[in-house]
A = this chain, B = another copy of it.
Amino acid sequence: MSILITGAAGFIGANLVARCLSRGNNVLAIDNLSRGTLDNLRAYQADARFTFAELDLNNLSALKSSIGSYHAKDPIKVVWHLAANSDIPAGIADAGVDLRDTFLTTFNTLEVMKQLSIPSLAFASSSAVYGDFGNQVLTEDLGPLFPISNYGAMKLASEALISAAVEDYLPQAFIFRFPNVIGLPATHGVILDFIHKLQSNSQRLAVLGDGTQQKSYLHVEELLDAMFFITEHAKDPLNYFNIGADDGGITVKEIAELVVARVASQAQINYGQGNKGWVGDVPKFTYSIEKLRSLGWQPKLHSNQAVQKAVDQIATAILGA
């Protein structure tokens, strides 16, 4: 069975490539290398079942021709569509970033799937589709959906377009609403930010906001476990699940303390004002993962354990043991 992965050179993409190869799949990995790097895929270059194509999902004609010729020889059964802008503040400064990289990538992925009759789509959505529900626990069927960032808006737009495709021509789709996902290779995110700041100045860590932002974190290995479990057990034409740790999350303050303890225990932590790091940042959210638990899966690690594991891995990768 052959699988197409978009955004394959990014953090989660590279982990997914490894997992698909280890499951015995052929993998066509595409990425425009704007954020992802070939470094993340170096380990698989020699594998005969692995093919990489540098492709921008915004170039529909190149996409159709390149994926089409692969598909003609080795039919693609599933598309894992992960490509998106991962830099929320960049999408605030210029709405065109999320339009192009988060939404039109999905539009074009669906266009290619329709043309080639590829029957299944697995899509990386986000908690950002919910907007800000305050302290309310986020269940999948909650409404209204008013995202507060362009990123969230374009993820919701992608979900909506997938839903319409399932009504029309696409036999099956899986929408995964991700939590914050952590692990190696770290490409962005709060843990990496903090380590980089402490590399520049080991005496002081400046935290954006007052540190009370609280989010659920899942280690990438568990994210992959959950996604494959869902694709194997959920049977509706359109399947949508929150994926997250089974807890209320961990605060930025706790993360800062874990990083400081591991990297520069003498550093002082200075907090900013307010509980929003930037416009469109949801200060706190708590997923319900009841739907996923009912399907039969739950994570082994709590958020703080996942963060501890990732801090160790990332610090070791960057700074050495």
Contacts and interface: CB of A to CB of B under 8 A. Distances in A.
Interface of A is mostly: helix
A164 B168 contact: no
A143 B95 CA distance: 26
Contacts of A221: none
A141 interface: yes
Contacts of A44: none
Given A163-B153, A279-B168, A146 B238 contact: yes
Contact of A160 (B140, B152, B238): B152
A150 B159 CA distance: 11
B149 A164 contact: yes
A110 B131 contact: no
A144 interface: yes
A235 to B, nearest CB: 17
A246 to B, nearest CB: 22
Nearest to A104: B99
Nearest to A60: B96
A137 to B, nearest CB: 14
Contacts of A150: 161, 164
Nearest to A143: B143
Protomer copies: 2
B160 A145 contact: yes
A287 interface: no
Contacts of A184: none
A156 B141 CA distance: 16
A107 interface: yes
Contact of A103 (B129, B143, B157): B157
A103 to B, nearest CB: 7
A319 interface: no
A134 to B, nearest CB: 14
Given A95-B161, A144-B240, A160-B146, A280 B153 contact: no
Given A143-B143, A146-B238, A157-B156, A280 B99 contact: no
A48 interface: no
Contact of A131 (B140, B157, B163): B163
Top 3 closest A-B pairs, CB basis?
Answer: A143-B143, A157-B157, A153-B160
Given A95-B164, A103-B157, 6 more contacts: A131-B163, A141-B143, A148-B167, A152-B164, A154-B157, A164-B280
Interface of A: 92, 95, 99, 103, 107, 110-111, 129, 131, 140-150, 152-154, 156-157, 159-161, 163-164, 167-168, 238, 240, 279-280
